Structure 1
Amino acid sequence: MRIIGGQAKGRIIQFPAASRERPTSDFLRETLFNILGPLAEKSFLDLFAGSGSVGIEAASRGAKEIVFIEKDKKIAAVAKKNVVSCNLDSVCRIIARDVGAGLGDLFKNKNKFDIVFADPPYNRGLVDVTIKLLKQNPVFTEEAIVVIQHSTRENAESLLNEKLILIDQRKYGDNALTFFKWSAHDTGKI
Structure 2
Amino acid sequence: MRVITGSAKGRKLKELQGRETRPTTDRVKEGLFNIIQFDIEGRRVLDLFAGTGQLGIECLSRGADRCTFVDLRKEAAALIRENLTWCALQERAQVIQGDYLAYLTRCGEKFDLILLDPPYGSGLLEKALESIAAIDILSENGIMVCESAVEQVLPELKSPYTRGKDYRYGKIKLTVYRRDAD
Amino acid at match of 2:64: A
Spell out the pairing of 1:93-108 with structure 2 (5 A cutoff): 93-107=94-108
1:74 aligns with 2:69: no
1:159 aligns with 2:160: no
1:141 aligns with 2:139: yes
The 1-side partners of 2:3 and 2:93 are apart by 15
Question: What are structure 2's unaligned runs of at least 5 residues?
Answer: none
Secondary structure (helix, strand or coil) at the match of 2:52 reads coil
Contact 1:44 1:113 in 2 (8 A): yes
Following TM superposition, by how much is the alpha carbon of 1:120 offset from its aligned partner in structure 2, in angstroms?
Answer: 1.1
Amino acid at match of 1:99: Y
Following TM superposition, by how much is the alpha carbon of 1:128 offset from its aligned partner in structure 2, in angstroms?
Answer: 1.3
Following TM superposition, by how much is the alpha carbon of 1:160 offset from its aligned partner in structure 2, in angstroms?
Answer: 4.3
Contact 2:48 2:114 in 1 (8 A): yes
Contact 2:44 2:64 in 1 (8 A): yes
In structure 2, the CA distance between the partners of 1:26 and 1:15, relative to structure 1 (3 Å rule), is same
How many residue pairs are counted as aligned between the two chains? 181
Alpha carbon RMSD of aligned pairs, Å? 1.5
Question: What are structure 1's unaligned runs of at least 5 residues?
Answer: 186-190
Amino acid at match of 1:41: G
Secondary structure (helix, strand or coil) at the match of 2:142 reads strand
Contact 1:116 1:140 in 2 (8 A): yes
Following TM superposition, by how much is the alpha carbon of 1:80 offset from its aligned partner in structure 2, in angstroms?
Answer: 0.6
The 2-side partners of 1:117 and 1:166 are apart by 14
Following TM superposition, by how much is the alpha carbon of 1:137 offset from its aligned partner in structure 2, in angstroms?
Answer: 2.4
The 1-side partners of 2:11 and 2:26 are apart by 12
Partner of 1:3: 3
The 2-side partners of 1:96 and 1:19 are apart by 19
Following TM superposition, by how much is the alpha carbon of 1:19 offset from its aligned partner in structure 2, in angstroms?
Answer: 4.2
Following TM superposition, by how much is the alpha carbon of 1:37 offset from its aligned partner in structure 2, in angstroms?
Answer: 1.6
Partner of 2:167: 170
Between 30-39 and 162-171, report the one with greater CA deviation. Answer: 162-171
